[in-house]
Amino acid sequence: MAGVIRHRFFWPVATLLILLASNLFFSPDFFAVDVRQGHLYGSLIDIVRFGAPLILVSLGMTLVIATGGIDLSVGSVVAICGALACLRISGLSDQNSVVGVLLAVGLALGLALLLGAWNGLLVAQAGIQPIIATLILMVAGRGLAQLITDGQIITINSSPYKLIGGGYWLTVPFSILVALVVFGFALLLTRRTALGLLIESVGGNAEASRLAGIHSRRIIFTGYVFCGLCAGIAGLMISSNVSSADGNNAGLWIELDAILAVVIGGTSLAGGRFSLGGTVLGALIIQTLTTTIYSIGIPPETTLLFKALVVTLVCLLQSPAFRAKVFHRRRKPPPPQPDRQQQPKVEVPA
C-alpha cells in the first residue's frame, strides 16, 4: 500500500476520482453515457471533449518545460490561429467547401509553426530568457489577433470546420480523436526514440549536454515549434466549437492552466524528467474541476479562487516534504551510544 501511495500518479488519479465522485451529489446521472443519433453523450464525454484543447496545449508545454523553458504565448497563438482560419473561411464564396476549409486550416497551422519557431529562435539562438522571449509574443500576439479580426467577432457557418471542435466521427467527438493522435505521436517520439532522453538531458543540464555532443539548441528549438503547433490545433478546436473567432478572449489564461496541468502531472519546472501521461491527467483534473464548479453553482466571481485552492492542495499533497511533515511523525533519533574506551594492551614478557 505504501508503494502505491508513493507512485507519482497516485495523488493526481485520486484527486480526479474524488472530483468526479463529488458530482454525484449534485447530478445523480453524472456517470451516465448515452448514444443519441449515433453519437456519445454524457458529462464524462463533455469533460474530455471540452478539455481536448487544454490537453493539446499542455502536451506542447510539457516538452518546453522539460527543456528548462516555458511558453507564455500559447494563449495568443490560440487566438491568432483561430482568427486567421475563421477570417479565411468567412471570405469563401462557399463556406462548406472542404478544399477551402483545408487551406484555411493549413494556413493557420503554418502560422502556428512560424510563431513557435520565432519563440525557439529567441530562446535557443538569441539566448533570451524563455519567460521574457515568450512574453513578447504573448503581448504582441494578442494584438495581432485583434488586428486580424479588426476588433470584431468573426462568425462563420461551415460544417467541415465545425467538425474539428464540435463534430463527431465514429460516434466519438472528433476533438477527442485529434487529442489522442497528438498524444500518441508525442509519446511515440519521446519514448520509442532517443528524443525523450535528449530532451531530459538538455533540461537537466544544457551546457553538459552540449559538451557531450548533443545539439541542445536544436532540441530547445524543436520543443517550441511543437508547442506552437499544439496551440494552433487547440485554437482551431476552440473557434470551431463556437463557429466564431474572438481575438480578445479566445485562449485567455489557457497558458496558466497548461502550466498547472504540467506541474500536477509531475513534471518539474526546473526541467529534466517529464511525463506526458501525467500531463493529460493534470489537464483532465483542471477541466473536471471547472465542470464541478459549474455543477455546484459556485458564483462566477469566486471560480478562479476556488480553482486556485484546489490546485494548491493537490500540489501540496504531491510534495514529499509536505506529506512527511503532515502525515508522518518525526522519528526520534536513537539515544547516543557511550564511547567505548579502548583497553590498553598489556604486553606479556617472554
Share of the chain above pLDDT 90, in %: 58
Q: pTM for the complete prediction?
A: 0.88
Q: Answer yes or no: is pLDDT of 298 > 80.
A: no
How far apart CA 276 and CA 59 sit, in angstroms, is 6
Find the mean pLDDT for residues 59-68. Answer: 95
User: Nearest Cα to 244, choosing from 319, 331, 145, 112?
Assistant: 145
pLDDT tens-digit series, residues 256-281:
999 999 988 888 888 888 999 999 99
pLDDT tens-digit series, residues 179-208:
999 999 999 999 999 999 999 999 988 778
How far apart CA 203 and CA 192 sit, in angstroms, is 19
- Residue-level pLDDT at 346: 54
Question: What single DSSP character describes residue 85?
Answer: H
Between CA 178 and CA 182, with CA 179 as vertex, the angle to 5 degrees is: 85
44's CB contacts (< 8 A; 6+ apart) are 20, 30, 31, 33
C-alpha cell at 281: 491527467
Mean pLDDT of the chain: 88
**What stretches of the chain show up as alpha helix (H) in DSSP?**
2-5, 10-22, 43-66, 74-90, 98-120, 130-149, 159-166, 174-191, 195-204, 206-211, 216-242, 254-264, 276-296, 303-318, 320-327
- Residue-level pLDDT at 338: 59
Find the mean pLDDT for residues 70-84. Answer: 96
Q: How confident is the model at residue 335 (pLDDT cuts 50, 70, 90)?
A: low
How far apart CA 51 and CA 56 sit, in angstroms, is 9
The rounded Cα 66 to chain-centroid distance in angstroms is 12
Q: Answer yes or no: is pLDDT of 142 > 90.
A: yes
pLDDT tens-digit series, residues 164-178:
998 999 899 999 999
Q: How confident is the model at residue 347 (pLDDT cuts 50, 70, 90)?
A: low
pLDDT tens-digit series, residues 105-124:
999 999 999 999 999 999 99
